[in-house]
Amino acid sequence: MGEPYRVTFVCTGNICRSPMAEWILRRYVEDAGLTGSVEVDSSGTEGWHRGRPADARTDATLRRAGYDTGHSARRFEARWFATYDLIVALDAGHLRELRRLAPDDGARAKVRLLREFDPAAGDELDVPDPYYGEAEGFEQVRELIEAAASGMVAEIRRGLAGR
């Protein structure tokens, strides 16, 4: 087996949306039988929460839905572009920041919005930040991520097939 297909999710502080997406995609990858071929992690555009666990509401939302949890926040670094196959931004602001950091067109092409993988998303491609809201916002984020997860698995399969 060759190198794993590497996916990272990026939000602002890496304590709400991106760790939730990380654990959800891990489950979908496992269910698709791709565990040994794919690595999934997450980071943030800012380093405010570096080393901290995910927001307690993120963990509670994941556990209620039957997902695993566990996390240590980190900041995305431009040098990581070379190590990832797919870099998934949670909203347009993250997309712009990641593309700004990208060293070249090839790196920029790896950056996609999560909701691009949800055929029902239409023009609403941002996953809203639930941090300042109530638990319902975290449930909404989970639902949006789950709606895109199958499309991400299909993209991963295409990437693996193209190697």
Print the domain residue range for 100.
Answer: 5-161
Q: Quick check: 49 pLDDT over 80?
A: yes
Q: Quick check: 88 pLDDT over 90?
A: yes
Q: What is the pTM of this model?
A: 0.97
Active site residues: 11, 17, 129
Q: Quick one: pLDDT at residue 82?
A: 97
Helix axes 56-64, 17-31, angle to 10 degrees: 30
Q: Cα–Cα distance between 52 and 95 in angstroms, integer?
A: 23
Q: How many domains does the chain have?
A: 1
Q: Quick one: pLDDT at residue 2?
A: 81
Share of the chain above pLDDT 90, in %: 97
Q: Quick one: pLDDT at residue 127?
A: 98
How many other C-beta atoms are found inside a 10 Å radius of the C-beta of residue 27?
17
**What is the CATH number for 148?**
3.40.50.2300
Q: Quick one: pLDDT at residue 13?
A: 96
Residue 11 backbone phi and psi in degrees, to 5: -120, -155
Q: Quick check: 31 pLDDT over 90?
A: yes
Question: How far, rounded to the nearest angstrom, does the alpha carbon of residue 129 sit from its chain's CA centroid?
Answer: 13
Q: Cα–Cα distance between 26 and 121 in angstroms, integer?
A: 21
Inter-residue contact 7 to 156 (CB < 8 Å): yes
